[in-house]
Amino acid sequence: MALSGIQIYKLLPQTNCKDCGDPTCLAFAMKLAAGKAELSQCPHVSSEAKDKLAEASAPPIRVVELGEGATAFKVGGETVKYRHEKTFVNPTGLLVFLSNATDAAKVDAELKSLNEVKFERVGYTLAANGAYLRDAKGDKDSFLALVGKVAAATQKAIIVDSASADTLKAAAAALKGRKFAVSGAGIDDLIAISKETGCTVVAKGADMNAVADMGAKLVAADVKSAIIDPSWSNLRAALTDNIAVRRAALDKKQREVGFPTIAFACGMTDDFYTEFAYANMLLAKYSGIVVVSTLDPAAILPTTVNRLNIFTDPQRPMTMDQGIYTFSNPGPDSPVIITTNFALTYFVVSAEIEASRVPTWLLIMDTEGMSVLTAWSAGKFVADAMAPFVKKSGITEKVGHKKIIIPGYVAQLSGEFQEELGEGWQVIIGTREAADLPKFLKEYKG
């Protein structure tokens, strides 16, 4: 049973030391009760109180971790219904569906894609997270062969699904030491396997009512790592239930449904484009894991970019570190460009500089992640802030000239910037659009 803010407050040190970032222990307790803070933010809470508060401070939707090492990922742990309220924290896992009825060549191709299909975007590597393996034939030997093959091929997440508890136990033994999940058998068998191996349980039922009953059993058995699968066969049911689950877990603190969900976009349609349209809607509306039929790069790129956008903190722009960035080994005569540290600005500008193959210095100034025009209008990318940055950046020790190129959108600050920089400096107005940079740089005479 969740504790109220006042009950939590009574267990806190009540010193109002502010180390948690809140002005009082009461304010922190209220946030904790609302699931908007984590107990670890208070460094002074006693271990006795910690135990009592564990239940209250647990996120309303449990966190599940799957996969190994660098490929490990977490799902669940969400505390808001709408992204703009705070942020969504753990991006939806994207798994490919394989079974012991899948053609061997298709298994090989998808495993290759699982390991090799990845994209770099604004400093993040975008890729799928693992494989969902189903014993579609009810055949232990061929299923274990598939599990062994996938486990040997990838460190990414594996969920094994068989109606046979015996087959699942053997699969669990084959995956021993990894963070995997089991699904398909009766809930009591799954709980027993989880207790023995520490694996995650997927509570699969015919509908939400069946799953909620299983969820209550998981809570009673103190299984903390679990996923719920209400066997959705169409998008409408999945979206409706996902929203209901999020509301029940967050607003009503119903622990029996406070788990990440799994949805099978691949089971809702046979059409490739429809499947990925569904997958994108499912990851936007609360599915913890989405299973797809293929890791075709043409579908994985837009899907993972969409996922990145949804799970990026809307209140904290993606930023680059302030400093000097180099392209094509620039020398003392190479042009110097200055822009802001909004990550998207950096990646668009840097891609165009790279494409030009002109050796170039790029000065990235900390404008709190604002783009050029926003930073200019907020007084962050203005002459009297830019000039000191340029002088302190160390660029003058790297180049033998005093010329600097500014974005065309802030042409109006060129005169003042030149004045602030001092004698000998020349401010050159660059292009308004990054796409015009290659031509500009190739024609640039310095």
Binding residues (CB under 6 A) for ligand SF4: these are: 12-13, 15-20, 22, 25, 28, 42, 44
Cα angle 272, 275, 281; round to 5: 145
Task: State the minimum distance, in angstroms, from the CB of residue 47 to ligand SF4.
Answer: 14
Give the 3-state secondary structure of residue 212: helix
Do residues 303 and 91 make contact, with C-beta atoms less than 8 angstroms apart? no
Question: Which residue, among 373, 368, 422, 363, has the nearest Cα to 394 in the 3D structure?
Answer: 363
Alpha-carbon distance of 251 to 322, in angstroms, equals 41
- Closer CB to ligand SF4, residue 28 or residue 276? 28
Task: State the minimum distance, in angstroms, from the CB of residue 23 to ligand SF4.
Answer: 8
Handedness of CA 312, 316, 71, 245 (dihedral sign): negative
Task: State the minimum distance, in angstroms, from the CB of residue 86 to ligand SF4.
Answer: 19
Alpha-carbon distance of 226 to 258, in angstroms, equals 9
* CB proximity list for 375: less than 8 A, separation 6 or greater: 340, 342, 367, 368, 381
Task: State the minimum distance, in angstroms, from the CB of residue 258 to ligand SF4.
Answer: 24
Task: State the minimum distance, in angstroms, from the CB of residue 9 to ligand SF4.
Answer: 9
Task: State the minimum distance, in angstroms, from the CB of residue 10 to ligand SF4.
Answer: 12
Both tokens assigned to 203: 């509570």
- Closer CB to ligand SF4, residue 53 or residue 263? 53
- Closer CB to ligand SF4, residue 22 or residue 256? 22
- Closer CB to ligand SF4, residue 22 or residue 352? 22
Both tokens assigned to 149: 């093959």
Task: State the minimum distance, in angstroms, from the CB of residue 46 to ligand SF4.
Answer: 11
- Closer CB to ligand SF4, residue 49 or residue 355? 49
Do residues 155 and 71 make contact, with C-beta atoms less than 8 angstroms apart? yes
Alpha-carbon distance of 63 to 276, in angstroms, equals 25
Alpha-carbon distance of 56 to 292, in angstroms, equals 35
- Closer CB to ligand SF4, residue 19 or residue 196? 19
Task: State the minimum distance, in angstroms, from the CB of residue 136 to ligand SF4.
Answer: 52
- Closer CB to ligand SF4, residue 27 or residue 237? 27
- Closer CB to ligand SF4, residue 18 or residue 137? 18
Strand order through the sheet with 200-204: 226-229, 200-204, 181-183, 157-161, 130-134, 93-99, 289-292, 262-264
The pair phi, psi for residue 136, each rounded to 5°, is: -75, -20
